[in-house]
Amino acid sequence: MIKIKTFFHKYWLFILLATIGTILAAFYFFNKTTLLKEKEILTGIIAPKITYYSSIKPNLNSLESNFPDFPEKIEIFQVNYSSFSDEQAIKISKDFGYQENPLVTNDIYGSIYTWSNDFNNLSVYLKEGKFHYGLDLLRNPELISGLPPSIQESKNKFSELLKEKGLEPLNKISVDFINEGYYFGDEANFIKTNQEDPKRTFAFLQALYKVNNSKIDGPETPLISLYFANNFQIARFDYSKIFEKIDLLDFYPLKTQPEVIETIQNNPQISFLKNSEGFYQENLIYDEKLPELKNLSFNKIELIYYKEVSQQTSLQPVFLITGTAVLNDGTQAEAGLYLPAIKDEYLLK
C-alpha cells in the first residue's frame, strides 16, 4: 500500500496528463463522428424542370441488362447567368467588326440586338445568352473561295477563337466535339460532303459543354457551331453561352438501378419523341400532345448534367434514357426520358 502511495506521489502529474489526454482524444473522435454525421445531412434541392408525357409501359429488358456502373454520389453545383448584358453584346459586335449601334427588337424571349451590312449579319439574344453570325452567301457567293482547312486545324483554331473573343467557359467546364465534317454551299443551304470532294468549301465543327466528363444537355442543348472557310474565314458561327458562375454545392447520392427501373415501371413517361430519319430530327409531339404509341423500348442510359430551358440556380445530374418507339401509323421514332438522378428524398417538388 505504501508503495502504491509512493508511486502516485511521484508520478501524479504524468497520470493527470495522461487522463486529460485520454479525455481530449475521446472528445475529438466523438466530435469528428458527429461532424461526419452532420455532413451526411444534405440540403433538399429543387427538382429540375422537366416536361413529361404519360406513355405506354416500355420494355426495359435491354436497359436492365446494360445498366452501367454509376458512382454512389455525384456533385451538384450552384450556377447563375447564361445571358448577355448590353455591354457584352456590344463587345461581341466590335469583335466581329461592327462599329454602329444595333437594331433592337423584342420578342417573348427578350431583347435581340442585330447588326448587318451588305456581306454579313450578327444577332445577339441577350436573355437566352446566344448569338448567330454569318456571311450573306446567298447574295454574295463570291465571298468564299478555295478549300477549307483540315478538321484538326479547325479544332485548333476553334479553341484559339474562343479565347480571342473571351468566350471560353469557366475552368470547371470544358467543350467536347460531337460533330465534324465538310460541307459545300448551294444557293441557300450547306450540303454535307467529304474530304475528297473538290467542291468542299467549309470545315464544320459542333461542340457541347461538359462538366466532370458528363455532357451538359437538355431540351435546348447549349452548343457551339462553326463553319470555317479557306484561311479560317468564319462563314457561320452559332454560339450558346454557358454559366458565368459555378460552385460546388455538395455531393448527393444517386438512384440505384432497381430504383430507376421501379420509377419507370410505376409511372411510364417520356420527355421527347423525335423522327429518327432526316437531318433536323423533327419533334413528333405537337400542341403538348403525345401521339399514340404501338410500342416503346428503352435500351440506353447515361448520366448527364441537365440544362433547363429557363434560367436555373443549380446544375444537377439526370439520367438520359433513350430507346425506340413505334407510332400507331408505323412511324419509327427516337424516344427519350430525362429522369432526375438524385435520390427522391433529396428533391423538393
Q: What's the Rg (C-alpha) of the chain? A: 28
- Take residue 89 and report the three cell numbers written for it: 453584346
Dump pLDDT digits (tens) for 284-316: 888 888 999 999 999 999 999 999 988 889 999
Dihedral (Cα; 142, 144, 146, 152), 10-degree rounding: 180
In this predicted structure, the answer to whether residue 61 has a pLDDT above a threshold of 60 is yes
**Closest C-alpha to 172, from 227, 205, 216:** 216
> Which secondary-structure segment (H or E) carries 25?
helix 2-39
Count of residues in the chain: 349
pLDDT in tens, 78-105: 999 889 999 999 999 999 999 999 999 9
Is residue 318 pLDDT above 80, yes or no?
A: yes
Within 8 A by CB and 6+ apart from 294, the residues are 326, 327, 328, 330
Cβ–Cβ under 8 Å, residues 128 and 119: no
Q: Which of 167, 182, 317 is nearest to 241 (CA)?
A: 167
pLDDT at position 9 over 60: no
pLDDT at 27 over 60: no
pTM (predicted TM-score): 0.82
The whole-number pLDDT of residue 73 equals 95
Model pLDDT for residues 248-272, shown as the tens digit of each residue: 999 999 999 999 999 999 999 999 9
Share of the chain above pLDDT 70, in %: 86
The Cα–Cα gap between 95 and 115 comes to 12
